[in-house]
Amino acid sequence: MTHPTTGLIHHPYVPPEGFAAPQPGVFKASTVFFPSVAAMRSFEWKDKSAYTYGLHGTPTSYALEERLATLEGGAQCLLVPSGLAALGLVALSLLKSGDEVLVPDNAYGPNKSLVEGELMGWGITHQYYNPMDPEDLEAQISSRTKLVWLEAAGSVSLEFPNLVEMVRICQRRKVLTALDNTWGAGLAFNAFDLVPGASPALGVDVSAHALTKYPSGGGDVLMGSVVTRDAALHLKLKLTHMRFGIGVGMNDVEQILRSLPSMALRYRAHDTSARALATWAQTQPEFVQVLHPALPESPGHVHWKALCGDAEGRAAGLFSVILDKRFSQAQVDAFCDALKLFHIGYSWGGPISLVVPYELETMRTGWPAHLLPGTLVRFSVGLEDVADLNADIAQAIEALYATAP
């Protein structure tokens, strides 16, 4: 090589091996080099025994996938660009025209939009079941039911279902189960081993997780994961993942790898503050109902306690309140606007506390019998001092009375 450009592109220097540091290396690529044509033809990406193309994984993404599988008690993991992409991958992999999927009525809203939109357009029907009634779930299972979605705790209203009984029903009826495990995050309970010591093991088939939330922890990364324990099921998901060209950026993977070691500490801190605020909120007459699985009065508390225990670090950082129906939407909006530390915004699991008012009646097939009438507001508790957050909510309550109904 005589030209400097060629020399720079094909430089002979190779760094010495043996470098070790707290964080894994970041390997980015589209093209991956093979040592020979024979290697190109024999290298296998499906079992992670080799590297073939950047979209199929690098040492960096492999490292995160293995850590996430361990976190959730699974054996295999796939990375996708968002939590919703994880839900979509499960549906696209496991359902076909003529099948039916059952979804809890308190499921994550975009998942309901997916089944009502694209899936219906592809000839896949759906039914919504009462998440607090296992008998209603079983009554809706038919020969066409190929997948049951589970969610614990429920989206926005935070009911905690009898997850153990629902999984038992689905196993008995030979229907696959997929859990949106973003709330539990692999820390509140083991979705693949709901009853430790049970034989055969009692657990879900698939765990979908929005890594955007607690694993990231910074409110600045979008990513999701799909974890399984069954190799054949994982391969089915992986082939769909490949055919759709689904991939994630390694810089985002690096961010989550960096955040994972502190995840349990952060989750516990979110939980501790959320419980304290929810307990205080119960004393405020403006809030006719406070929803948090660790509160004995909250719907499904007994199921949460049976599955998760009551130790801190097992109940995430969310709680919702229902404001008395005497307050108009304008008054509720003024309450949210008056908050200074709670920012108005979607998502959760980051350092900054968030708040969102919801029109719950537009999100459910009917107003849930276990919820009192009023307007629901969800709080996502960040990592600020809990006394400061408490004072912020207290001062914002005054705005309820400063705005005309």
Is 249 found in the same domain as 105? yes
Q: For residue range 315-367, list pLDDT tens digits in order.
A: 999 999 999 999 999 999 999 999 999 999 999 999 999 999 999 999 999 99
Q: Indicate the pLDDT class of residue 1, thresholds 50, 70 and 90.
A: low
Is 107 found in the same domain as 195? yes
Is 311 found in the same domain as 244? no
Residues 352-357: contacts with CB within 8 Å, 24+ apart?
Answer: 352/219, 352/382, 352/384, 353/379, 353/380, 353/381, 353/382, 353/384, 353/389, 354/379, 354/380, 354/382, 355/379, 355/380, 357/329, 357/332, 357/333
Number of domains into which the chain is organized: 2
The residue-averaged pLDDT of 3-9 equals: 90
Domain end among 234, 261, 288: 261
In the structure encoding, which two tokens stand for residue 216, read together? 């990231």
pLDDT for the residue numbered 138: 98
Q: Is 89 exposed, middle or buried (0-12, 13-18, 19+ CB in 10 A)?
A: buried
Strand, coil or helix: what is 41?
A: helix
Is 176 found in the same domain as 153? yes
Residue 14 lies in a domain: no
Is 286 found in the same domain as 250? no
Which of 3-7, 55-59, 89-93 reaches the highest mean pLDDT?
A: 89-93
Stated pTM of the model: 0.95
Higher pLDDT, 51 or 310: 51
The residue-averaged pLDDT of 188-194 equals: 97
pLDDT for the residue numbered 405: 61
For 58, the domain range is 37-261
Domain end among 208, 240, 261: 261
pLDDT for the residue numbered 181: 98
Q: For residue range 126-165, list pLDDT tens digits in order.
A: 999 999 999 999 999 999 999 999 999 999 999 999 999 9
Residue 250 lies in a domain: yes
Is 218 found in the same domain as 278? no
Q: Indicate the pLDDT class of residue 45, thresholds 50, 70 and 90.
A: confident
User: What CATH number is attached to the domain comprising 356?
Assistant: 3.90.1150.10
Is 304 found in the same domain as 229? no
Is 52 found in the same domain as 172? yes
The residue-averaged pLDDT of 253-268 equals: 97
Question: Which residues are bridge partners to 185 per DSSP?
Answer: none
pLDDT for the residue numbered 402: 85
pLDDT for the residue numbered 404: 63
Average pLDDT, the chain: 96
Q: For residue range 285-320, list pLDDT tens digits in order.
A: 999 999 999 999 999 999 999 999 978 889 999 999
Strands 354-358 and 176-180: unpaired
Is 292 found in the same domain as 250? no
pLDDT for the residue numbered 7: 87
